[in-house]
Structures are given as C-alpha cells and as structure tokens.
Amino acid sequence: MNKRKELVKNTLIIGLGKVSTQMISFFLLPLYTFFLSPSEYGVVDLVITYVALLVPAITIQLEMASFRFLIDARNDENEKRRVISNVMQLVLPIMVVSAILFGLIALILHVPYALLIVLLIAITIFSNLFLQFARGLGDNKKFAIGSIATGVTTLVASIVFVAVLKWGAEGLLASLALSNLVGATYLFISLKLWRYIGIANPDKALKRKLVNYSLPLVPNGVAWWVINVSDRTIITLFLGAAANGIYAVSNKYAAIFSSIFSIFSMSWTESASVHIDAKDRDKFFSETTNAVIRLFGSFGVMLIVAIPLVFSLLVNEQFNESYLYIPILIVSAFFNAVVGMYSAVYVAKKMTKQVMNTSLASAGINIVLTVVLIPFLGIFAAALSTAIAFLAMAIFRHYDLKKYVKITFERGLFWKIAALYAFAMTLYYFNTIPGNIANAVIITAIVLVFNRSVVKVLRNKIFDTVRRSPQV
C-alpha cells in the first residue's frame, strides 16, 4: 500500500476509537461542572493528573517498548509471544510492589480516594498495555473498538454515578475505572492475549533490550507530566483548588486539539517506524510534516474563533474565568503537535535517550517560569510557561534531528500561522458579538485558502463518489 494511503487509513481507524474516548470526556464537561463545585473538580482533576503520572512510571513505559518491538515481530508468532510474555513478566512484579508501597503511604498521609486510586491505576495499566499490544500487532481495528468501548462506558457510568446516584468525586473516579476495565477486557478476549502470555523461559537478553528502550522514557514521561500538569500543582499551592478547577476547564478546550492530534500521532509513529529506512524517507517525512503543521495550525485557530460562540452553552457561569486562558493553551497544544512530529522520528530510530534529554530541559523551563511568574500573572503564568516550554522543545528537537533525518519546511509557513493566531486572538479577547462573528467568517475563509490543496482533494473525492453512485 502507498505510504500516504496507509498513513491516512490508519489515522482514520485509530481516530474512530480515540474520538469516542476523548470527545466524550469533553462533552461530559457540562455534567461535571454542574454537579461538582470548582474546588471539588479541582481536587479530582489533580488526582487524575497524578494517576496519569504514576501509570507510566510504574510500568517504566514498557507499553511503548512492546509497541515498538512488536512492529518488528509482526511476521513471527514466536517473537510476538517472546515480547508480550517478557513485558508482562516485568510489569506484574512492579505493580505488586507499587500497590504495597502506595497502600502504606496512603495510610500514613490519609490520601483521599486511596482505594479508588489504586484500583484506577491497576486497571489503567492493563488497559494501556493491551492497547499498545493491539497497535504493535497491527490490529488497529481492535484498538479502535477497545477505545470506543472505554468511551461509551465512561459516558454511561458518569451519568449514572455522578448525575443519578450523586456519588460526586468518587463517582467520577469509579466511572473511569469501570470504563478502562471494560476496554481492557474486550482487548484481552478479542486479541486472545492468553496465547502470548507465559511465565516460563524468561529471556534476560530481550528484557534488557526492552528496559534499555523504555527506561529513558520514564523521565521523559515525568518531564511531559511536568510540562502539562505541574502548573496545576503550583496553581493549587499558590492560588487554591478552586483556581485549579478554573484552569482544568480551560485545558479541556486545548485537550480537543491534543486529542485530535494524538489520533494522527499514533498513526504517524507507526508509519515512521515502518518506513524509517526507506530511500525516499526525507521527502516523505518533510511532505507529511508540512501538511500536518498547516492542517493542525489551522485547526487550532478555528477552535479559538469557535469558542466564543459556544462557551456559555458548555460551561457553568462559575467557571467563566476559564475563557481567558484557552487561546494560550491552544497555542501550547499546537507547539506540542510540532514536538509530536519529531517524537515519532526518535521512536522510529529507537533514540529514547534523546527524547528524555529534550523533555527534561523543557520541563525545567516550565517549572522555573511558572514559579517565578505566578505571583505576578496568576493563572496566566501557568498557561504561558507551558507554551514557552513546548516551543523550546520543538526548536531543540528540530535542530537535533537534522543529524539523522532532514525535514525541510515550506518558506514562511510558521509566519503565516503566527499571523492567523494573532488576528484571531485579538478579536477573541475583545469578545463582542459582531467581532466574534467576523472572526469566524474571516478566519474560515483564510483557512480554506491556506489548505486549498486538502480542500481540492476532498472536493474531488466527493465528486467522484457522486459520479459513481447509481442514478435513480
């Protein structure tokens, strides 16, 4: 199959699953903001944030190692069994030890929702592992179905536990645990993973390779957590849990961008790994990167102009302040997308140490800027520091990867995108009805021209479909 068609096909399949999970989470925002106070939602958001940190730390990112090594083993059943068995042999003992340690810490520090947190962490570990097994085995359809099952369960369980039973924060955490359990169970059965999991004949050499690949991703994961959410901890310490609740709502809009890009990123990572040694690699990588940056740069600015038109419909008025921080966080998400394009190349070349080094440097920038600026700028400090940290990482990775892969950008591409964002954000902050409507119309027209090649392809596809359809 043509490399570009393969990339598009995988993106669409993965997207079907990811959208169900990520977008359902966003559309549940009115439910959460109605039934939970800003302070309560802020605390729950912090718990979820720490769970997101602990899961990859406990697994030492072996789920990512399994994905990368399974790509190389797709035509060898014995090798698939070796990879999955040895990954599980490494993860399970770490899980048991971690659960015991967390239980002791929870008793001493009186951690809220301790039992639910342990349950959520354990189930999420299995869910993440099985999802990466599916991707590594090349079964993106089952990955999508497993994600859909998780998303639908989240929707139903959240409504029942939070809105009907009024379980509050505990209900929200319980719904997340149940949804991950449903997704993990489906994947275990549909992929018939029991065929690949064994405890006999451990392979020390393979385990060493898996750990050498995954271990640098642990500090990298911590660094990403720092860049994404350490600001929430700092906001809570300096400004209180209610302020973190406001910031968490702002992040939900930026999360739309990140969620949509993550769909492509998964497919791009697989394509980059499969075609890293192709003769036309540099051309393929450059064309893909330019197209993606143009498309997602446009998507981000369209989000900004759309928000004033729907904000009051989606968010309770006690969270109105979150409106102020959304554009900056969307810009951060765009810089993150640029970083993601480069990350796939590092993964493809199994250069995880370089991933770690660049991420740690950017995490340091984020922490320092947030702590220094938050007394003067409040919540704005966290949003700005995140944007600067991602921009710094993107610039560094661009120049670092020149030694391995030559990605060439179209002349003036980033200046055009910067002008779009500057115009859209100016009218966004004026926030008048005529200005918001004009903003939406003007930006939409410019984006269509800016992406005319994509528009042309879509138009031709539609016309071809109409011509081929039977006439009545």
- pLDDT at site 466: 46
Number of domain units in the chain: 2
Are both 299 and 200 inside the same structural domain?
A: no
Contacts 24+ apart (CB under 8 A), 107-116: 112/43, 112/47, 113/47, 113/169, 113/170, 113/173, 116/170, 116/173, 116/174, 116/177
Query: Running DSSP on this structure, what letter comes out for residue 187?
Result: H
For residue 469, is it within any domain?
A: no
> For residue 311, what pLDDT is reported?
85
Whether residues 53 and 115 share a domain: the answer is yes
185 and 228: one domain? no
Predicted local confidence at residue 404, as pLDDT: 82
Per-residue confidence (pLDDT) for residue 471, from 0 to 100 = 43
CA distance 20 to 30: 17
* Same domain for 441 and 339: yes
Contacts of 93 (CB under 8 A, 6+ apart): none
Whether residue 467 is contained in a domain is answered as: no
Does one domain contain both 246 and 200? no
What is the C-alpha separation between 222 and 220, in angstroms, rounded?
A: 5
User: Domain for residue 167, yes or no?
Assistant: yes
**Dihedral over alpha carbons 48, 49, 55, 60 (to 10 degrees):** 180
Looking at per-residue pLDDT, the higher value among 271 and 223 belongs to 271
Instruction: Give 471's DSSP letter.
Output: P
* Best CA proximity match to 349, nearest among 426, 406, 401: 401
| Residues 178 and 307 occupy one common structural domain | no
pLDDT band, very low/low/confident/very high, at 114 (cuts 50, 70, 90): confident
**In-domain check, residue 472:** no
Quote the pLDDT of residue 224.
67
Per-residue model confidence as pLDDT tens digits over 132-178: 999 888 888 898 888 888 888 988 998 899 888 888 788 888 988 99
Domain range holding 409?
Answer: 219-460
- For residue 465, is it within any domain? no
Name which of 222-226, 288-292, 354-358 the model is least confident about.
Answer: 222-226
Structure tokens at 274: 């499969």
Last residue of a domain, one of 192, 215, 238: 215
Judge whether residue 273 has pLDDT over 60: yes
Please check whether residues 132 and 275 belong to one and the same domain: no
Average pLDDT value for the chain: 83
Q: Tens of pLDDT along 373-419?
A: 999 999 999 999 999 999 998 998 888 888 888 888 888 999 999 99
* pLDDT attached to residue 7: 66
> Please, what sign has the CA dihedral across residues 282, 283, 286, 289?
negative
Q: What is the pLDDT of residue 472?
A: 35
Q: Which ranges constitute the DSSP H helices of 160-216?
A: 168-190, 204-214
Instruction: Say if residues 284 and 278 touch (Cβ distance below 8 Å).
Output: yes
- Whether 105 shows a pLDDT value over 90: the answer reads no
Please give the DSSP secondary-structure letter assigned to residue 226.
I
Q: How many CB atoms lie within 10 A of CB 464?
A: 10
Q: Is residue 468 part of a domain?
A: no
- Please list, in sequence order, all residues whose beta carbon lies within 8 angstroms of the beta carbon of residue 386, skipping any fewer than 6 positions away: 227, 228, 231, 328, 329, 332, 366
* 241, two tokens: 């849990």
Which one is predicted more confidently, 457 or 431?
431
Most confident of 200-209, 236-245, 328-337: 328-337
- On whether both 252 and 128 belong to a single domain, the answer is no
Element (H, E) at 408: none
Checking if the pLDDT of 462 tops 60, the result is no
Domain shared by 285 and 204, yes or no: no
Q: Which two tokens stand for residue 65?
A: 């190692």
Last residue of a domain, one of 215, 232, 263: 215
Question: Are 100 and 12 within one domain?
Answer: yes
Predicted TM-score (pTM) of this structure: 0.71
Indicate the length of the chain as a whole number: 472
CB atoms within 10 A of CB 460: 10
| Residues 249/33, Cβ–Cβ less than 8 Å | yes
Q: Output the pLDDT for position 147.
A: 86
- Nearest-CA neighbor of 383 among 329, 303, 327? 329
Beta carbons of 407 and 282 less than 8 angstroms apart: yes
Of the three residues 175, 197, 215, the one that is the final residue of a domain is 215
The SS3 of residue 154 is helix
CA Rg value for the chain: 22
Q: Each residue of 13-66: pLDDT tens digit?
A: 666 666 666 667 666 777 777 787 777 777 777 777 778 778 888 888 898 889
320 inside domain: yes
Residues 435 and 292 in one domain: yes
Least Cα distance to 331 among 422, 249, 416, 246 occurs for: 422
Domain annotation covers residue 470: no
Same-domain check for residues 203 and 328 = no
